[in-house]
C-alpha cells in the first residue's frame, strides 16, 4: 500500500469519525453544553482534514494551517457566545434542557 495515500486517507477517515461523532452528539444530547461539545468535535474533524491536506499537498502548506488557525479562533468565539446564551437561559429557566427551550421560537 502506498504510504502517502495511506497516510492521507487515514487522516481523512479520522476526521470523518470525529465529524460523525459530533453530529451524533449534537443530535442526541439534551444538555445544551453537550450540544456545544458536539460542535467542537465537528470543528476538530474539519481541522484534521485541513492540516492533513496541508502536509500531504505542498501547495497548501501554508493555507491549510492558516485555515485551521482561523477555525480554532472561530471555535473559541463560538464557545464563548454559546455559553453566554446558555447561562442566560439557565438564569431564566433553571434548566439547560434543549427540549424545554421552546420559548425561544420567534
Q: Is 37 in the site for other proteins (CB under 8 A)?
A: yes
CB of 104 to other proteins, least distance (A): 13
What track of x and - describes contact with other proteins for positions 43 through 72 (by CB under 8 A)? -x--xx--xx-xxxxxxxxxxxxx-xxx-x
Which residue has cell 505542498? 58
What residues have CB less than 8 Å from 93, skipping those under 6 apart? Answer: 100, 101
Q: Is 21 in the site for other proteins (CB under 8 A)?
A: yes
What residues have CB less than 8 Å from 81, skipping those under 6 apart? Answer: none
Q: Is 40 in the site for other proteins (CB under 8 A)?
A: yes
Q: Is the dihedral of CA 30, 33, 39, 42 positive or negative?
A: negative
Q: Is 91 in the site for other proteins (CB under 8 A)?
A: yes
CB of 73 to other proteins, least distance (A): 5
Q: Is 101 in the site for other proteins (CB under 8 A)?
A: no
Which residue blocks in 1-106 are alpha helix, DSSP H?
3-28, 32-56, 61-93
Q: Is 36 in the site for other proteins (CB under 8 A)?
A: yes
Amino acid at each position: 500500500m502506498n504510504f502517502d495515500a495511506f497516510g492521507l486517507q487515514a487522516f481523512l477517515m479520522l476526521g470523518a469519525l470525529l465529524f460523525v461523532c459530533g453530529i451524533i452528539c449534537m443530535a442526541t444530547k439534551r444538555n445544551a453544553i453537550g450540544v456545544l461539545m458536539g460542535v467542537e468535535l465537528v470543528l476538530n474533524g474539519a481541522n484534521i482534514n485541513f492540516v492533513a491536506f496541508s502536509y500531504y499537498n505542498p501547495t497548501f502548506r501554508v493555507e491549510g494551517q492558516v485555515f485551521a488557525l482561523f477555525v480554532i479562533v472561530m471555535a473559541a468565539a463560538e464557545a464563548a457566545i454559546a455559553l453566554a446564551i446558555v447561562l442566560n437561559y439557565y438564569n431564566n429557566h433553571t434548566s439547560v434542557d434543549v427540549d424545554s427551550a421552546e420559548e425561544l421560537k420567534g
